[in-house]
Structure 1
Amino acid sequence: MATIEPTRGRVVLPRTLTVDELLRFPVDGKHYELFNGSLVVSPAPTPLHQRIIFRLQRILDDAAPPELEPLSTVNVRPSNEDFYIPDLVVVPVAVADAVGLMFAPSDLLLAVEVVSPTSQLLDRATKPLAYAAAGIPLYWRVDPDGPTLYVYELDGDSYKEPITHKAGTTVTLPSPYAVSFDPADLIGRPVSNP
């Protein structure tokens, strides 16, 4: 188990962690995730981050067929050394009604991450690799700068090169179900085309 050095406030991990050990961590408003047993700690999301998640969830919920629903910040457990908390997912309602604490990656039709200053490398590099390896068919990355939506589709065991959608243009996506929106809607500022 991790120990905290009282004089430095530093967390010392003697080895890689398991999901069961991670679940004994305190509930303190931070996101604790595991990637191959390595701990990643993120602070609570910023107001802009929360706004994007909320607005995208509302857009997805309005477009969802009755058998599917978007949920925010759920637990996903691909293995005993991997534990993810995507910002937003789309899952079948029947699965959401039956699941306890953890979703399996196979339950997810879409995983979404909103890039924040503390998660740039994780959201742009680590999570696409991890989510593809877990078999999650779609990964959307929202970069608040712009904002810009990057859509990754699974092709075998990796994602194809992402398709980029910039603010100011209405995007129509067919998967996980038909939905249309302008990425600018996620931050609430209208963008005019030049």
Structure 2
Amino acid sequence: MIPPRPSGWEADDLDHLPQAPRHTELIDGALIFMMSPQRSWHSRLVENLTFALRQAAPEGFEPEREMTVRLDKKSRPEPDILVTTAAYDPDRTWYAPTDVALVIEVVSDESADLDRSLKPFKYAQARIPHFWRVEDEAGVPTIHIYELDTMTGAYVATGIHRERLKAAVPFPTDIDLNKLVP
């Protein structure tokens, strides 16, 4: 695939790339393909965490999985889970950062560098208020929670959760992490 312009790909181009693999992301004008098979642990965790968040979310917050966020003209990453405040639109293919309260990345071997450094940096630049990173610690999920410091425009760690996640923001959440994967 050849970019349509010398400056690279743009966010809106993703909607017109039928030949691109599923879960294609755009970071700074470069297409990112996650071609490795997804591990069952990752799939189950994303599915069950999305369900748990749906159970906890009050009206006005809607968890979604595998939807892109149009951070700017050249970046449209796809977090594993996001929580949006936007109204439901069945034809939607992306969310604006202003409509996203929380992004969650579940770290896998092939996405580790992006999930731990570049994506959080880009999400913070876009002023998404909450970021969670899920790590696999010997088969058990550990959730690292970050909140945007509006003065610095950077995320600050607010907790590391093992066994149970209790959080007050973006809405009250209490999840038994041991039940997210068999």
TM-score under structure 2 normalisation? 0.86
Residue in 2 aligned with 1:2?
A: 2
Residues 139 and 27 from structure 1, CA distance in 2 versus in 1: closer, same or farther, beyond 3 angstroms? farther
Candidates 78, 89, 104, aligned match of 1:85: 78
Deviates more, 1:112-121 or 1:14-23: 14-23
CA contact (8 A) 1:89 1:108 kept: yes
Alignment match, 1:111: 103
- Find the residue that maps to 1:129 and give its secondary structure: helix
Match status 1:153 vs 2:147:
yes
Give SS of 2:94's match: coil
Q: State the secondary structure of the residue aligned to 2:93.
A: coil
> Partner of 1:141: helix, strand, or coil?
strand
Change (3 A) 1:23 1:149: same
Q: What are the within-5 Å matches in structure 2 for residues 17-36 of structure 1?
A: 17-26=9-18, 29-36=21-28
2:181 to 167, 175, 187: 187
| Structure 1 residue identity aligned to 2:135 | D
Unaligned runs of 5+ in 1: 4-12, 189-194
How far 1:15 sits from its partner (Å)?
5.5
2:53 corresponds to: 60
Q: What is the CA–CA distance in structure 1 between the aligned matches of 2:91 and 2:69, rounded to whole Å?
A: 11
Q: 1:165 aligns with which of 161, 165, 169?
A: 161
Deviation track 1:15-48 (CA, whole Å, cap 9, x = no partner) reads 5321233333235653211111122111353322
Shift of 1:14: 6.9
Of 49, 68, 90 in structure 2, the residue corresponding to residue 75 of structure 1 is 68
2:21·2:33 contact (CA, 8 Å) conserved in 1? no
- Identity across aligned pairs (percent)? 34
Letter aligned with residue 160 of structure 2: T
Aligned to 1:149, the other structure's residue is in SS state strand
Moved over 4 A (4+): none
Tell me, yes or no, if the aligned pair for 1:2 and 1:14 is still in contact at 8 Å. Answer: no
Partner of 2:33: 41
Distance verdict in 2 for CA 1:114–1:159, change over 3 Å: same
Structure 2 unaligned blocks of 5 or more: none
Query: Partners in 1 of 2:73 and 2:158 — Cα distance?
Result: 29
Q: Aligned to 1:100, which of 92, 98, 102?
A: 92
Aligned-residue CA RMSD in angstroms? 2.3
The residue type equivalent to 1:33 in the other structure is E
